[in-house]
Amino acid sequence: MAKAKTVAIIMDGNRRWAKSHNLPASHGHRKGVETLIDIVKASKTLGIKNLIVYAFSTENWSRENQEVNALMNLINFGVDVKLPEIIKNKMRLKFIGDLSQLPVSAQKGIEKCIESTKNFEDFNLTVALNYGAIWDIIESFKKMKQNKVEITETSFIKNTQISDTNVDIFIRTGGDKRLSNFLLPNLSYTELFFSERLWPDFNTRDLKNIIESFESRQRRFGK
């Protein structure tokens, strides 16, 4: 029976959830953070070692300025309000993406998260911010060229943002069935799951059902 160690999630549906409750989009994103914390704790309980979540893509800059600013402020909200809970549960925080393009306040918050959790080893929460898989691919080739590394399939994957981490499960909430430029180099044999639930409504039972379904699948890896 296959055991899932790494799960990647596109947390889609925050804005639609807010609209359905006659609330501003920022409220949906904040409710999404609450859902994330619940799913993170459930993931650790269910034996997951690595959770990778898509929080802000390179394409999200094209949204209205008000929403982009709210999303950037949400990073600081997470640091101020949720970091103590992350530390209490001994979870290591990592970040991928072009972080240099984020506001200075957000970069400082990210540094605080990394430094405060760097000694935890049992569970990793990786947050993708200003991330795009095409950007990731280009950066991988740049690193290989700079370090004069021979370009092979192995070296290419190793130089991507999550290196050669094997993603077992990919989940997208919100009903859409696409990958949206997320971790494309790393999903070759990942099992895909799409949920109709909007991210703020996604719960631990939904996650458990997906993991149980994953464990019932036969993974052949092309053999």
The distance in angstroms from the start CA to the end CA of the chain is 17
Q: Which residues pair with 127 in a beta bridge?
A: 53, 95
* Token pair in block for residue 80: 């101020």
Measured in whole angstroms, the distance separating CA 201 from the mean position of its chain's CA atoms is: 17
Cβ-contact 171, 13 below 8 angstroms: no
Beta bridge partners of 169: 7, 191
Catalytic residue among 60, 73, 181, 203: 60
60 catalytic per annotation: yes
Hey, what are 220's tokens?
A: 């052949």
Which tokens in the block code for residue 49?
């070692």
Catalytic machinery residues: 12, 60
